[in-house]
A and B are shown apart, each in its own frame.
Chain A
Amino acid sequence: AQSVTQPDIHITVSEGASLELRCNYSYGATPYLFWYVQSPGQGLQLLLKYFSGDTLVQGIKGFEAEFKRSQSSFNLRKPSVHWSDAAEYFCAVGPILTGGGNKLTFGTGTQLKVEL
């Protein structure tokens, strides 16, 4: 069975500081990995995804993530955090379905707080 672990429930960083959110996964085959952000009152927004190829993937809003198969990790990074990045971040893994979309397994999320 597939699973995702996000070890950090809460993280607080100062605006302008760098950020790394950790994600470890368990998956029987080649994983399809995702990072989503959830802001209050809004739906989940896809930040980036990894299917294959280059293990360093670039996403929206200046985020990037690195897939490390040997460590079963897919950590999210941002070199300089903005106050507007404060939100809940979810790592997810899931197969691509033949009919479209994917049945995602989400991690428990990391709540990011940004201090001004």
Chain B
Amino acid sequence: GAVVSQHPSWVICKSGTSVKIECRSLDFQATTMFWYRQFPKQSLMLMATSNEGSKATYEQGVEKDKFLINHASLTLSTLTVTSAHPEDSSFYICSAPALTWNYSSYNEQFFGPGTRLTVL
């Protein structure tokens, strides 16, 4: 199946600094990628939809100035957590749809392994 990678897999930073997380589709192109946030023992919450060549679409309640998304190429989307604070500590997961068969309009989503962010 298609592979999505994330880098870094974990990061620790000081409060007030910014952190960039990369999401790459390794063997396919993705015009759309999705960013999720997962708190411990909780579900995944969709944060935003990343669109190649255009602005990201944020879910209600997600601060767009806090979580900057850039989808600069067909294989890379980045999430930058700006001025991070301890409450931003979480597990961030990206996903990308990849065409798995050529007679359907459905694109199965493939998920990255996630990035654990800890803000001190």
Give chain B residues whose Cβ lies under 8 Å from the Cβ of A42: 113
Q: At the interface, yes or no: B78 with Cβ under 8 Å from chain A?
A: no
Q: Are A103 and B95 in contact (CB under 8 A)?
A: no
Tell me whether chain B's interface is mostly helix, strand or loop, or mixed. Answer: strand
The size of the chain B interface, using a CB distance under 8 A, is 27
Point out the residue from A41, A100, A103, A109 that lies within 8 Å of B43, measured CB to CB: A109
Q: At the interface, yes or no: A99 with Cβ under 8 Å from chain B?
A: yes
Point out which of B44, B108, B111, B114 has the most chain A C-beta atoms below 10 A from its C-beta.
Answer: B44
Also in contact, A101 and B113, with CB within 8 A (given A51-B106, A107-B43): no
Q: At the interface, yes or no: A106 with Cβ under 8 Å from chain B?
A: yes
Also in contact, A106 and B110, with CB within 8 A (given A44-B93, A101-B32): no
Q: Are A106 and B44 in contact (CB under 8 A)?
A: yes
CB nearest neighbor in A for B105: A96
CB nearest neighbor in A for B44: A106
Q: Are A44 and B49 in contact (CB under 8 A)?
A: no
Q: At the interface, yes or no: B31 with Cβ under 8 Å from chain A?
A: yes
Q: Are A43 and B31 in contact (CB under 8 A)?
A: no
Q: Which A62-116 residues sit within 8 Å CB-CB of chain B?
A: 90, 96-97, 99-109
Point out the residue from B30, B106, B110 that lies within 8 Å of A43, measured CB to CB: B110
* Assembled-state Cα–Cα distance A96/B97 (Å): 11
Q: At the interface, yes or no: B83 with Cβ under 8 Å from chain A?
A: no
* Assembled-state Cα–Cα distance A106/B37 (Å): 11
Q: At the interface, yes or no: A11 with Cβ under 8 Å from chain B?
A: no
Q: Which A20-59 residues sit within 8 Å CB-CB of chain B?
A: 36, 41-46, 49, 51
CB nearest neighbor in B for A91: B43
Give chain B residues whose Cβ lies under 8 Å from the Cβ of A100: 30-32, 97, 99, 107
Give B contacts to A, CB under 8 Å: 4, 30-32, 34, 42-46, 49, 51, 93, 95-97, 99, 105-114
Q: Could you list some 10 contacts between A and B, CB below 8 A?
A: A44-B95, A44-B111, A46-B109, A99-B31, A99-B32, A100-B31, A100-B97, A102-B97, A104-B46, A106-B43
